[in-house]
Amino acid sequence: MNQEVSSKLYTPADLQAHRPLTLRTGAIIPLDKPLGWTSFDVVNKVRIMVRQVTGIKRIKVGHAGTLDPQATGVLVLCTGRATKLIEQLMDHDKEYCATLQLGATTPSFDSEHEIDATYPYEHITEEMVRSALSQFTGEIDQRPPSFSAIKVGGIRAYDLARQGQEVELAHKRVTIHELELVSFTPPTLQLRIVCSRGTYIRSLARDLGTALDSGAYLTKLVRTRSGEISQADCFSLDQMDELLALTPDEEKLP
């Protein structure tokens, strides 16, 4: 972690130390995103909390890497001048713990939508899974899900998909550095993944199901690390009031 990032990074240990919060000067605040929230929901909630706790009415707040509503874990927020670091933080590798269900697919490749097709899975062995995983390690071409935030003609792909329009996005080159089978209890399996920016774990689930002559979709996803920021470094939303209360008066001035 470079010095500029580490100097602006806040963790729960800073609550105990009563470290002043430099909201305007720039703060990097990792949050453990709750299930069911969009990344924008979290950013908007934090903006509201900033106004309520500090009285600061206008401040830049952004995040360094979207998490789907059905995912939880590390969501890195940047405030004030630290928003200039967002692109740098987004380029960092991410680590995930993913739970997949074999034998079925959904339109969104996760549990946000109902199952649209079922497939046999009884033939799948642990050896087959490990062999298939080797196909997805390293640089791969991956097609993003139709239900994604990628824009098509200025419109989010998920908005088009929800309107019933056929959306087929172009393949993207991504890198999966590590792909480990953590557990296999058919029809469920759990993976640990370390990957580059832009990797869709939902697409990996779909593609793995296809490689196993079956179907698969994501039932649980936790981002456990973003760069060197781990889930243990994250604040809960419930802790944000306490953190924001550490904002010194000079940071509240317009």
Identify the active-site residue in 32, 68, 110, 233.
Answer: 68
Q: The pTM is what?
A: 0.92
The predicted-structure confidence for 117-137, as pLDDT tens digits, reads as follows 999 999 999 999 999 999 999
User: HSE of 248 in the Cβ direction (CA atoms, 13 Å)?
Assistant: 9
pLDDT higher for 107 or 180?
180
Whether residue 173 is predicted with pLDDT greater than 90 in this model: the reply is: yes
DSSP state at residue 45:
H
Told to judge if 32 belongs to the known catalytic residues of this protein, a careful annotator would answer no
Q: Residues of 23-60 as b/e, b for ≥16 C-beta within 10 angstroms?
A: bbebbbbbbbbeeebebeebbebbbebbeebbebeebb
pLDDT for position 136: 97
DSSP state at residue 9:
B
- Label residue 151 by pLDDT band (50, 70, 90): confident
The predicted-structure confidence for 5-48, as pLDDT tens digits, reads as follows 888 999 999 999 999 999 999 999 999 999 999 999 999 999 99
pLDDT for position 2: 79
Percent of the chain with pLDDT over 70: 92
State the angle between helix axes of 126-133 and 201-211 in degrees (0 to 180), rounded to the nearest 10. 120
Rg of the chain, C-alpha, whole Å:
20
The predicted-structure confidence for 48-70, as pLDDT tens digits, reads as follows 999 999 999 999 999 999 999 99
pLDDT for position 148: 66
Whether residue 254 is predicted with pLDDT greater than 90 in this model: the reply is: no
pLDDT for position 4: 77
Whether residue 206 is predicted with pLDDT greater than 90 in this model: the reply is: yes
Whether residue 75 is predicted with pLDDT greater than 90 in this model: the reply is: yes
Whether residue 91 is predicted with pLDDT greater than 90 in this model: the reply is: yes
Q: Residue type at 114?
A: E
Whether residue 97 is predicted with pLDDT greater than 90 in this model: the reply is: yes
pLDDT for position 154: 73
Q: Please state, in angstroms and as integers, the Cα–Cα distance from residue 123 to each residue in 204, 207, 213, 218, following that order.
A: 20, 17, 9, 20
Whether residue 162 is predicted with pLDDT greater than 80 in this model: the reply is: no
Whether residue 155 is predicted with pLDDT greater than 80 in this model: the reply is: no
- For the chain, list the domains and their CATH numbers: 3-91+228-252 (3.30.70), 94-226 (3.30.2350.10)
